[in-house]
Structure 1
Amino acid sequence: MESIYWGCLIGGAIFAIVSLVLGDLIDGLLDGAFELPGIDFLKPVVLAGSITAFGGAGIMLTRYSSVSAIAGLILSLLIGIVAAMLVFFAYIKPMRNSEVSIAFSMKELSGKIGEITIPVPERGFGEVMIRVASGNTIHTASSFEHRPIAAGTRVVVVDITEGVLRVAEWDDDVLKDV
């Protein structure tokens, strides 16, 4: 029985190493051939983790405990099932929910409010920080009105030219008049 446990442990470890090194290549070649549609719990990584845990638990129980072979087999199976559940609920399910892209296009920055982090001279470049869905992003900025803008000033992105955000000072008073 111990040879079965060793086979499961070694096979699972080899699968993990191959997946780590060649995962993207294999995924592209196989294109989900081993995944069953609608059954997320039977993904290859979950099954491999379960088999590896089963093998490791079997070896530990056989060598370092006084349980019978049948009890060791049952406990190993339970440990493998628990490991599969942990992999699924701690890794697969959260990763499936995080597949939404947080990328943005430079075109989307037009009209956004930001803050100058490095002063923008009259005819030169500084930096502006803008809050986007993924956090803050910093870009090169120039003054749309060709006026110097101090660090800490709130600005609005007027347009984008050759990857440079052209900004103007944001005036909260203008909104009050509208």
Structure 2
Amino acid sequence: MELFGYTLESMYLILLLISGTVTLLYLFFGDAVEGIGEAISFFNPTTILGFIALFSASGYLFESLTSLSSFVSLPLSIAIASVLSFLLHFFILVPLKSAEESLAYTEESLGGRIGKVIIPIPADGFGEVFIESYSGMISKPASSYDNVPIAEGKQVLIIDVAGGVLHVKEYETSPIFYGE
């Protein structure tokens, strides 16, 4: 079958080469396109480029290696590209995006967390506090919120964060008595 004077096989190959080139360019200059993806939530360049590449590759293979008619290979290529793009999006891209977000922390997100003093905090000076999180361990400079010295090994509650310095208070756990 011919389309615009070209065989369908060559059209698939040209589309595959173009989508491969655009994918390579997106790999290098993808940060410029990320803003568009934020504005239009359903627009994901990786999924769209993956669909086009998979569609054209499967179409080219069907046209060149099988004796299926073009009217059968076209919907079959669309179906294969749709299924594989769906799998790419929901089983690779979505988990990667959520993993990327879960590893980051902001200074504001440290407020209210519990840490452990690893370098004693003098009344009017700085020490260091160690905070465990899912993404690893965080060590930050700290000062006493009430200007009270805090010894090494004590648990502290992070009250505020200013200028990269945690303002902490000694954290005391009290036993809970039920029925009294």
Output the aligned Cα RMSD: 4.0
Q: Given that residues 5 and 56 in structure 1 are in contact (C-alpha distance below 8 angstroms), is that contact kept between their aligned partners in structure 2?
A: yes
Alignment partner, residue 17 of structure 1: 24
Change (3 A) 1:77 1:148: closer
Q: Deviations over 1:50-101 (max 9, x none)?
A: 12112212333344x4433434444323222222322343356557878979
**Partners in 2 of 1:27 and 1:168 — Cα distance?**
41
Quote the sequence identity (%). 28
1:149 counterpart = 2:151? yes
**Partners in 2 of 1:83 and 1:158 — Cα distance?**
48
Change (3 A) 1:19 1:107: closer
Alignment partner, residue 122 of structure 1: 122
Alignment partner, residue 90 of structure 2: 89
User: How many residue pairs get matched?
Assistant: 165
**1:149 is aligned with what amino acid?**
A
User: Unpaired runs of 5+ in structure 1?
Assistant: none
**Partners in 2 of 1:126 and 1:52 — Cα distance?**
55
**Partners in 1 of 2:127 and 2:66 — Cα distance?**
71
**Partners in 1 of 2:75 and 2:106 — Cα distance?**
51
For normalisation by structure 1, the TM-score amounts to 0.64
- Out of 86-95 and 5-14, give the one that drifted further: 86-95
For normalisation by structure 2, the TM-score amounts to 0.64
Change (3 A) 1:62 1:170: same
Q: Given that residues 53 and 80 in structure 1 are in contact (C-alpha distance below 8 angstroms), is that contact kept between their aligned partners in structure 2?
A: yes
Change (3 A) 1:44 1:139: closer
